[in-house]
Amino acid sequence: MGDYLNIGNAGFTAITKGLYVDKTDMISYINHTLGTTDKLTCVSRPRRFGKSFAAKMLCAYYDKSCDSEALFADYKIADDPSFRKYLNKYDVIYLDITWFISNADSPTGVKNIVKDIQADVIQELCAAYPNTQRQNTLPKMLSKITDETGNKFIIIIDEWDALFREMKENTALQEEYIHLLRGLFKSSGQTDKMIEAAYMTGILPIKKYGNQSAVSDFREYTMIAPRKLARYVGFTEDEVKVLCQQNQMNFTEMQHWYDGYTFSRLHSVYSPNSVMEAIKNEEFGSYWTRTETYESLRIYIELNEDGLKEAVIQMIGGASIEIDTGSFQNDMTNIRNRDDVLTLLVHLGYLAYDSTAKAVFIPNEEVRQEFLLAVKNGRHKEVARLIRNSDRLLEQTLNMEETAVAEAIEEAHSMGTSPLYYNNEQALRSIIRFAYISCIDEFLRIDELPSGKGYADIVFFPKKTSSMPLLLIELKWNQTDTGAIRQIKQNAYPQALADYGGDILLVGINYEERTKKHTCKIEKYQKKI
């Protein structure tokens, strides 16, 4: 048992001793790829989305230096027909690239990382196969062992793209690393001969890195297109419901804080680390985003790209923004337009992607708070001012200061929407939500709530601990604010909310497209006795 060759099952054993959600059936998928043309798998996910858990699980399952049958006996994979066929049958090479970077003893040491990786693994291979003559590169060493013994290897590389993310300017080191990967995975004859399977994890997709298609033979599963591995990206809704039931946690709150990632095959995916931390701490809050500073988000949303500021404002207000993900080069330096920034934020986990609508949005409360923190402390001072003004807007609404409310909405609309999309009804709705962002502290917002004879545009329900009135907001386009109030009454929206025992404020807002003016009407709802 070594540091890189056949590391054993201690890592996965430690994982299962804590709060663990069974994802072992993913092994069945990898088993079906062994020795085939699909044997090279790359999974890209954000930080803290279980990449290392999966890598250590695969090590424990395939590693021939240990006996893991009892470890997996109570999990899903044990019922799969392939379970015993491949259990602990292979030499497994495990490389954590972030470990090599963090343990480099100096800047000079970092430059030697690729050489060190090969030297360290070759040393362990020589100890395991003393009759095989030492070779000067890892691909040659593996090939030699296979020629002499017939043994094939499984290679697992965790955070494979760390060199590209953390050594952005060192192109020489990147090219050396690409050369190693090409030696392992690009030569079809040698790769098929010596490698039974490879599994790589990273944050970004891989196919456009560098000038060469270093690892183009890998099947990729990303945050844009996770395909059949979607249910392993995070926790599913059913898994979270079970966790909440087992640990006496409020499922609705869990959903509000950590749900929101969506894929074509799975429409409700939760941030796994955050769910676990909330359960362990018995408290909801921001956990995943604490694994990085908000600086990493702020840097990208402050880039001077056309329409980016407005897109961020609208997404904080709850909007989805259409994007084209095709131009993204899968790195953090070649950012050429707004769509590249938003696509990068999908891969980093700050945005969710709807593949059907081809649009991005902020997935949940945890990430929304990170966006608010980034813009409050960022370069876009006018956005920070709008957020600060939200407190005053709420106060003005409660005081029924109609002119002031209309002016505040108009300012938010002007700053938060590019001229191209200014006369867009959906953009206005998003701006309204953004302008009332302070309501999130004491209200639960529901959009298009079925009420009476129609749908209430925006309803802010006071939380149980709040003494605020319920706010029922109706938006009109090229009509009148009094018409908005009239529609609220005619459609019996307040009566449908009769179970709410507190006060209700009716807020009608109209936008006149020709003059670009906003007007507001506010009334207290008089309950019928």
The pLDDT of residue 368 is above 70: yes
- Note the pTM of the prediction, 2 decimals: 0.85
pLDDT digits (tens, 9 = 90+) for 23-48: 999 999 999 999 999 999 999 999 88
Can you state the angle between helices 381-398 and 365-376, rounded to 10 degrees? 120
Q: What percent of the chain has pLDDT over 90?
A: 56
The pLDDT of residue 291 is above 90: no
d(CA 218, CA 43): 10
pLDDT band of residue 248 (cuts 50, 70, 90) is very high
d(CA 264, CA 344): 19
DSSP letter string, 124-181: HHHHH-TTSPP-SSHHHHHHHHHHHH---EEEEEETTTHHHHH-TT-HHHHHHHHHHH
Least-confidence region, from 193-202, 414-423, 495-504: 414-423
Residues 6+ away with beta carbon under 8 Å from 442: 462, 463, 465, 466, 468
**Residue 233 and residue 269 in contact, taking contact as beta carbons nearer than 8 Å:** yes
d(CA 80, CA 60): 17
Extract the tokens encoding 185: 């995975």
Neighbours of 322 (CB within 10 A): 12
Least-confidence region, from 185-189, 320-324, 523-527: 185-189
**Residue 469 and residue 504 in contact, taking contact as beta carbons nearer than 8 Å:** yes
pLDDT digits (tens, 9 = 90+) for 141-173: 999 999 999 999 999 999 999 988 888 778 888
- Structural domains of the chain sorted by starting position, each given as residue range(s) with its CATH number in brackets: 10-221 (3.40.50.300), 230-379 (no CATH), 381-529 (3.90.1570)
The pLDDT of residue 288 is above 70: yes
**Residue 159 and residue 97 in contact, taking contact as beta carbons nearer than 8 Å:** yes
**Residue 475 and residue 428 in contact, taking contact as beta carbons nearer than 8 Å:** yes
**pLDDT value of residue 109:** 67
d(CA 435, CA 471): 14
Least-confidence region, from 41-45, 61-65, 486-490: 486-490
pLDDT digits (tens, 9 = 90+) for 81-115: 999 999 999 999 999 999 998 887 666 667 889 99
The pLDDT of residue 239 is above 90: yes
d(CA 206, CA 363): 24
Extract the tokens encoding 454: 């129609």
The pLDDT of residue 293 is above 60: no
**pLDDT value of residue 107:** 61
In the predicted model, what is the mean pLDDT of residues 72-88? 97
The pLDDT of residue 209 is above 60: no
**Residue 494 and residue 467 in contact, taking contact as beta carbons nearer than 8 Å:** no
DSSP letter string, 3-65: SSB---SHHHHHHHHSS----TTHHHHHHHHTTSTT-EEEEE--TTSSHHHHHHHHHHHHBTT
**pLDDT value of residue 294:** 56
**pLDDT value of residue 210:** 46
Mean pLDDT of the chain: 88
**pLDDT value of residue 419:** 62
In the predicted model, what is the mean pLDDT of residues 348-370? 93
Q: Where are the beta strands (DSSP E) in 203-281?
A: 219-221, 235-236, 269-270
**pLDDT value of residue 211:** 46
In the predicted model, what is the mean pLDDT of residues 377-389? 74
Q: Where are the beta strands (DSSP E) in 241-328?
A: 269-270, 321-322
**pLDDT value of residue 207:** 58
